[in-house]
Amino acid sequence: MKKAKRSVWILAIGIVLVASVVALFCTANIRGYSRAQRLYDNGKYSEAYKIYSELGDYRDSAELAGNAKIRATYSEAEELFKNEDYEKAIEMYGQIPEYEDAAEKKEQSEHLLKVKNDTTVPKISGIKPNEKLSITCGTEFNLKEYLDDNIKITDDVSGEIKEYDIRVIKDAVDVVTEKSLYNPASGEITTIVDGMLEFEISAKDSAGNEAVVKMGIELLPVHLSIENPKPVIYDGKYGLIQIQNFQHGYIYGLDQYLITFYVENKTSDPMVVHLAADTSINDYQVNIWRYLPDVISAGKKGIVEDYIADDDIPDYLKDYPQIETTICLRKDEMDEHSYYRVPLLIDIDAANMN
């Protein structure tokens, strides 16, 4: 009887022990599962993955372990991407191609890796190195617009590049306004002084490799010649100025050169067009005659004349082939302000003889 009681007692203790172990195991699973969830919710996916994996088939631990591993891989890839370790980031993103934007980020990492290793400068085409572009003074010209229309910048990694810089190497200054001829904000070149302007056109790719091309803009005076007897002096916002006739002979009671301008005044003020006082032959300044100021009223068209008398030209200069001058567009005879000035080179043999 005593043996039977003892067996029952031992069995009861065993059941209690087993129940305690089971209870302890279940409690540990519950605690582990809850801890894994907290870690997952706080973005600690690697730690959550480890615990979910240890829980085996407890509840949905296997599924959550898979999700945690994917997120852990993505987070690690993002950190590698942030630190510009693109090679490892490519590997990590490649493990989860279907997750969110992993495929797109892998492609981006591949591109940035190429950029990081890129040492080739971009190619600027459309203008030749040290190309010289000739522009006749009085012509409206915008360098930015010209480059936008003519150049193309490409790179073997970055593809087509739209952005470029214009650096001024050599500029010229308007002696009246003391302003540069080139306006970097608008790209406009004010073509009122003959001479050479020089620029550098530069472009950088995504890796910072820079291509540079130099170019020159030669501003040429308007040239009145036998081949070009009626050149346009100016055609822009202020109006139209064109030489209508160039004569030499006995005119208005004097032996002289007569220059006749056709003028269209597009301003809201009177306009005077005349040869500048610094008109010269071989650096010798000659006098300019205007018997009456030829004023063209606002919005009107008309004729303006200027004269150079033979008596004002020294005998030793009479055989020189050209007259150098500047055509001035002014508000009126008394106003010192000039709208515009255009250099003009006149071939003496182009004169119609009277």
26-63 pLDDT, tens digit per residue, is: 466 778 677 768 877 887 787 877 877 777 777 877 88
User: Given a cut of 50, is residue 221 above it in pLDDT?
Assistant: yes
pLDDT level of residue 16 (50, 70, 90 thresholds): very low
Quick one: pLDDT at residue 140? 87
3-state secondary structure 18-58: HHHHHHHHHHHHHHHHHHHHHHHHCCCHHHHHHHHHHCCCC
Instruction: Find out whether 332 and 294 touch, Cβ atoms under 8 Å.
Output: no
Question: Is-contact 202 157, C-beta < 8 A?
Answer: no
Residues 174-211 have pLDDT tens digits of: 776 778 999 999 999 999 888 999 999 999 999 999 99
Confidence of residue 162 (pLDDT cuts 50, 70, 90): very high
In angstroms, the CA 244 to CA 223 distance is 14
pLDDT on residue 5: 52
Please report the pLDDT score of residue 202 as a whole number.
96
Model pLDDT, residue 17: 43
Which one has a higher pLDDT value, 173 or 107? Answer: 107
Residue 43: predicted pLDDT: 76
Q: Are 72 and 46 in contact (CB under 8 A)?
A: yes
Please determine, for residue 85, whether its predicted confidence score (pLDDT) is greater than 70: yes
Question: Per residue in 274-329, pLDDT tens?
Answer: 888 889 998 898 887 765 567 899 999 999 999 999 999 998 888 889 999 999 88
CB distance 198 to 214 below 8 Å? yes
Which helix (H) or strand (E) segment holds residue 2: the answer is: helix 2-41
> What confidence category does residue 21 fall into, taking pLDDT thresholds of 50, 70 and 90?
very low
Segment 100-128 shows an average pLDDT of 92
